[in-house]
Structures are given as structure tokens and as C-alpha cells.
Structure 1
Amino acid sequence: MITRTAPGKLFVAGEYAVLEPGCPAVLVAVDRYATVTVTAINGPTALSSDRAGELVLPRRPSSQSLGGRPNRPTNEPHVESDVEAAKSGSFSYVLSAVRVVERLVAERGMPTCCFHLSISTDLAAPDGRKLGLGSSGAVTVATCDALARFYRLRLGREELYRLAMLATLAVAPDASGGDVAASVFGGWLLYCAPDRQSVASLADGGGIAAALDAPWRGLTLQPLPAPVAAHLEVGWTGEPAATTDQVRRLLDGRYRAAHHRTFLNVSTDCVSTLVYWLTHGDVTRMQEQIRCARHVLGALDRQMSLGWMTPRLRALCAAADAIGAAAKPSGAGGGDCGIALLRRDQQHQVAELHDRWKREGVQPLDLRVHPTEQDLT
């Protein structure tokens, strides 16, 4: 039995701009998790989730074995195609991860096995509403990690990111992959998305192994030092946002928007300056860049009618401003979460911030930063 976990994420700055290959964003991993357990079985492979029920993948097992585990021939994949995975509803990312890992297994000349794969998460509210903590990315990463260990693949951390990113792109071709990166690397992370069309072509043309080894244009994965003098608070609006819809709205109109290149340049400057002050431990200057990021994204929202800033998110930011903190919506906006960055010497004001949030219908979330991961062993 193999069990692996992957943390959720929050965007700190760089949303929407990160969709452009090479444009930077800062993310932070948080201590809410997806947990995946893989167990070898004799029957047909089955997936189960604490939120989506069970799905059986009826493929004929063979008499071969790998370390005493039941196997199937490599020419009988659990998931026949990316289209099959993408149409599988709640299990789409999991099935895509199964497909990508088993393609790599086959490319390495190894047999595939029947297994039971179970998924549990604490990345949603008790009533099932999403919090905006990157549950799809965390589940994809945990699934790829668990299956890679189940099949005894030896992957470095960047290889795990690439594997999970390939699985993600098969379901959501426009995804930036920031949630995947944060789930793999943990901690604070500077991230630039690769050219996703080029990445998908690598896998389609040369296979998964070749895509893991090839250069990915635009990709940056840079763990950042934790800003020890900073304190991060997170508020949830209770209004789930549809990230895919928000992203599609921008992509559909970005080439018609005269201000798009300006937005990318200003966002890049803002994120780069944030990273500079983060690495130098100056929280006051970091707060200035959080406010800058909010204004940059607010201007984009007004120009393109993205619905990024909602009344409740605006109230979340105003409450933080009132106590001298710096706040902004996190992620695609339109609901979900917002963040507030405080100096450590402002921690006595956290209770006041929470009270202000609650009066506006914003629920404080008890979250901590998940530390930067060491390399896989």
C-alpha cells in the first residue's frame, strides 16, 4: 500500500498574467491536503473518492506479476485516451493521471497492475463547496506521486511536476499549472508557466519520457525563502468561483484587448519586485506589492469585465486596509478566497481583522503555510 499527500495552494500575485508563458506569479502551499492511497488488488481497478463515490475500470487482468502483484498486459491501458479521461466528470483529473503514469510505465517496458486508488481531501468546506485552494491540482499531484511509487518509478520533484502537468493539460489545456507547481514544491514559490501547446506536442509526438526530459520553454520553478517576518491570513467568501470560466473569458478576448501587453508588463514588474523584497525579508515593501497586484488585476477586471472583484472580496480587502494590512483576492477571483499579509508586529490585530471579515460575511480560514518540500526519496 502506498499513500501520498499533496498540499493546496493560494496565489499571492501574478494571477491571469501567469497564463502567458514566462510571466511570473508567486504562490504559497497551504496545509490542506489531498491524500491518495494505492493498493494492489486481484479484481478490476477501481477508484474511490470521499466526495465522488466509486468508479470501476473494467480491464482484463493478466497472469503476469510485478513483485507478486497482479498485472495486465501493457497493451490494455486502464484509460484508453485523453478524451475518455476528460469526459469522466469528477474523476477526470485522476483518470488523466492514471493514463499519463501508465504511459510512462509502458514506455519503460514495465507491466501495469490492477489496483484500488482512494482519494480523500480536506480542500473543501464541510458542505462540499470549494474553497479555491487548488483541489484539482493537489489531487492530480498526489495521484501521480502515489502511482509513480506504486510502479517503482524514480522521479525527481521537477519530473513529478511535469508528469502532473501533462495530466492536467489533457483535461484543461489552458491551465497555468500554478496549483500543480505549488502542490509539488510546497512553501513559497516563484512560478512561470511553460508554453502548454508545445508541452502537449512533446508528449503526443515523442511520448511521456521524452516530454519529461525535454526543455519546457517559459517554465520557471523557483522555491523562495519563507518570509519569517510576515504573517498570512486567509478569508473565504463562501462563493465558489469557476476558475475555468474566468480563464476562458480572458483568453477569448485577450488579443482584442489593447491593454493586454501593458497588463503583462506591469504584472511582471509587480511580481518581480515582490520577490525581491520577499527574499530580502522586507514585509512592508511586500505589502506595497500586494496592493500593487490588487490594483493591476482590478484594472484588468474593469477593462475585460472578468468579474474578478466581488462585493464580498472588496469588503475583505477594505477590512485589511483598515488595520494596515495588505489584501487582495487570491486566484481567478469571482469568489473563493482572499489573502491578507500582515507584519509579525501586527499579529495582535488578527482578531480585529477576523471580526471585520465576519461582519461582512467572510469566514477566516485556519491555514498555515506548508513548508518547502525536499527532493523525493
Structure 2
Amino acid sequence: MITSRAPGKLFIAGEYAVVEPGHLAVLTAVDRFAEATVSKSKDADTQLHSDLDGGVRLSCRRVDDRMIPATADGAVPASFAYAFAAVSVLDRLLVERGIPARAYRLDISSGLGDADGRKFGLGASAAVTVATVAALGRFYGLGLSAMDRYRLAMLATVSINPKASGGDIAASTWGGWISYRSPDRALVSEVLAHNGVDAALSAPWPGLAVHPLPAPTELTMQVGWTGEPASTPALVAGLGNSSRQLSDRTAFLSHSNACVERLTAALEAGNSNGISDEIRCARDLLIDLDTTAGLGIMTPLLEALCEAGEAVGAAAKPSGAGGGDCGIALLDRTRAAALHELTDRWVTAGIRPLPLRTHPSEGECR
């Protein structure tokens, strides 16, 4: 039996910009996890089990060098979309390398949501994908590096969501605080389609860069959950393509990259004031984008979350695509009274504080 787990994530800055290839974001991994356990099976078919959506099961088998679900209509249940995509990519790699398939049972669980099944917005799909890739890689003795695991998880993800930035996958793979630059997913998908998985693992991925960052030492990061689940793909799809909107987006991308670069420099220098300034800058950029594109990023509860943060001297913003999910506030860790006041203000506004910490970094990125 082999078990791998992957942490969830929070976006610190760079949301929406990082969706475009070659653009920047800063993220941190958090200590909530998705877990994948692989064990040998006596069944002829591979069995996938999940505790998501109340517990579901999916059988699948390799047919003509391709993994297919053993369902009446050939469809993959939504609960297994990302796990099955990861299974399929790993199986294709095995075929390319001439490694015999072995029947197994894959059990998936996630601690990235509430008890009632609502997700916190911590990148559960990415964490499930990364954990599945890691567990199957160990099961088959593939000796996958962190970059291999990231790339395989990314190949699985873009088969479902071609616009996914992959920032959540990077955070779930490496852990800690990271600077992330998104790759050209269309080009990567072409390499996969024409040359296969193994070639995609070794080919250049234009735009991609992942670098570890030091966590703030003088600031504590507090996380508030609005209780309103949001759909990142739906929000990103709302970005328009009119000439005016494209012009606005170009300006947004430029300003966002500059903000993230300053934030990265402030983190590396341990400059708490600089970090706070750029968190506020990132929030203002999201507000401006929301105003021009009408995406619904700033919900009333996210506005309340940010206002409560500013009222106690914290730098606060939505984390991720907005429209619900989580927000963050960075505050001087020595100001205990202000921290308690922030918590009280959030609770009064209907925002639930989440006791999250940074999940330690695995090591060097490439």
C-alpha cells in the first residue's frame, strides 16, 4: 500500500494574470491535504474509490492502449474527473515506456472542504491530481522528480481545463511559498498530442518557472472563508475579448506582473511594509479588473473581509478568482489584540476564520 498526499493552496497575488502564459503569481501551500492511496488489487479492473460527494466508486480498464471508464455510457463521474485524468496520463506513460499495467485500487480522500462537502477554495482538484500522480509514480517505481510530477499533473489538468494556470498544481507539488510563471499550455498540449507523454516530460515548456520564496517572518497570514463556493473556470471564462477589454487586460497584466515582482522582492528581503503594500496593490488590481470586466470577483462578504482587515491595520484581499471562497489578511504577528479584533469582525460579518498554516516546502524548484 502506498499513500501520497498533496497540500492545498492559497493565491497571494497574481490571480487572473497568471492564466495568461508567461505571467506571474505568488502562492503558498497550506496544511490541508488531499490523499491518494494505491494498493494491489485482485480484480481484473482498476478500481477508483473516493470519499468525495458522499463516497463513489469507478472501475476502469485499459483497452487498445487507452484507459477507459467501465460505465454504461462511458462517462467519468464528476467526482473522478481529475483523478481519472491523472490515471489516464500515467497509464499512457506506462504504455510508451513498455511497462506492464497492474490492477490496483486507488482511494482518494480530501480534507480541503467543509463537513457538508462545500469546498474552501484551496485547490482540491489540483491537490487530488498531484497526490494521484505521486502515488501511482511510486506504485510503478517510476522515480518521478518534483518537476515530473508537476508536469504529469498539469497534462492531466489541461485535458479537462485548458485554461488552468497550474499555479495550484505547483503549490501542491513543491509546498511552501513560491513564485510561479505559467507555461504555454496550448503548446504543451500540442507536444502531448503529437509526441506523447514522455516527450512532454522532457520538452521545453515555454514560460514555465517555479522558484521557492521565504515565508514572511514578521507577518501572520489569516484566512477567512465566506462559505460561498466559487467556480474559477467560470469566472476566468468571463473575461471578454472586445478590443476595449483586451486593452484593459493588457494593462492589467503589466500592472499585475510589476506588483508580483515587487512582492517577490519584498518577500526575499523580509520587508514587511513592502509585502503589505503589494498585497493591497494586488487587491486594487482585482477591484479594477472586476469593475471593467464585471466578473463578480468582489462579493459583499469578500468586501467585508477586506474592510475588516483594513480596519485593524491588516493588508487584506481575496485569494484566487474571487466570487466567494477565501480571502487573506496579513498582519503584524505581535499585534495580538488586532488579531483578535479581526477574528471578531470576520465572525460578526459571517466569515469563518480557517486555522491554516503554510505547508513546508519540499525543496528546490526548477
| TM-score, normalised via structure 2 length | 0.94
The one-character-per-residue Cα deviations of 1:181-214 (angstroms, maximum 9, x if unpaired) are: 1000100010111011001111111111110101
Alignment length (residue pairs): 360
**Selected match of 1:91 from 71, 80, 95:** 80
SS in 2 for 1:79: strand
Q: Percent identity?
A: 51
Structure 2 distance, partners of 1:190, 1:132, is 20
The Cα of 1:58 is off from its aligned counterpart by: 4.7
The one-character-per-residue Cα deviations of 1:74-97 (angstroms, maximum 9, x if unpaired) are: 8454337xxx99853110101100
Structure 2 distance, partners of 1:280, 1:129, is 38
**Selected match of 2:146 from 135, 154, 157:** 157
Q: Does 1:309 align with 2:298?
A: yes
Q: Does 1:16 align with 2:16?
A: yes
User: Residue type of the partner of 2:328?
Assistant: I
Structure 2 distance, partners of 1:85, 1:300, is 40
Structure 2 distance, partners of 1:86, 1:306, is 31
The one-character-per-residue Cα deviations of 1:39-71 (angstroms, maximum 9, x if unpaired) are: 011102111111243333253xxxxxxxxxxxx
Aligned to 1:116: 105
Alpha carbons 1:85, 1:92 under 8 Å: kept? no
Alpha carbons 1:236, 1:363 under 8 Å: kept? yes
Q: How does 1:29-40 map to 2 (within 5 A)?
A: 29-40=29-40
Alpha carbons 1:86, 1:92 under 8 Å: kept? no
The Cα of 1:162 is off from its aligned counterpart by: 0.4
Q: Does 1:49 align with 2:50?
A: yes
User: Residue type of the partner of 2:277?
Assistant: E
The Cα of 1:252 is off from its aligned counterpart by: 5.3
Aligned to 1:230: 219
Structure 2 distance, partners of 1:256, 1:298, is 15
Structure 1 distance, partners of 2:244, 2:208, is 22
User: Residue type of the partner of 1:6?
Assistant: A
User: Residue type of the partner of 2:9?
Assistant: K
Alpha carbons 2:76, 2:84 under 8 Å: kept? no
Aligned to 1:132: 121
Alpha carbons 2:245, 2:293 under 8 Å: kept? no
The one-character-per-residue Cα deviations of 1:142-168 (angstroms, maximum 9, x if unpaired) are: 000000111110111111100100000
Going from structure 1 to structure 2, the CA distance change for 1:271 and 1:375 (only over 3 Å counts) comes to closer
Structure 2 distance, partners of 1:25, 1:196, is 16
Alpha carbons 2:240, 2:246 under 8 Å: kept? no
Structure 1 distance, partners of 2:325, 2:345, is 18
**Selected match of 1:267 from 256, 274, 290:** 256
Structure 2 distance, partners of 1:267, 1:98, is 35
Unaligned 5+ segments in structure 2 are: none
SS in 2 for 1:259: helix
Q: How does 1:1-377 map to 2 (within 5 A)?
A: 1-43=1-43, 44-52=45-53, 53-59=55-61, 75-79=64-68, 87-250=76-239, 256-374=245-363
Structure 2 distance, partners of 1:113, 1:216, is 31
Structure 1 distance, partners of 2:2, 2:290, is 44
The Cα of 1:347 is off from its aligned counterpart by: 3.8
SS in 2 for 1:312: helix
Structure 2 distance, partners of 1:264, 1:349, is 34
The Cα of 1:344 is off from its aligned counterpart by: 2.2
Alpha carbons 1:237, 1:313 under 8 Å: kept? yes
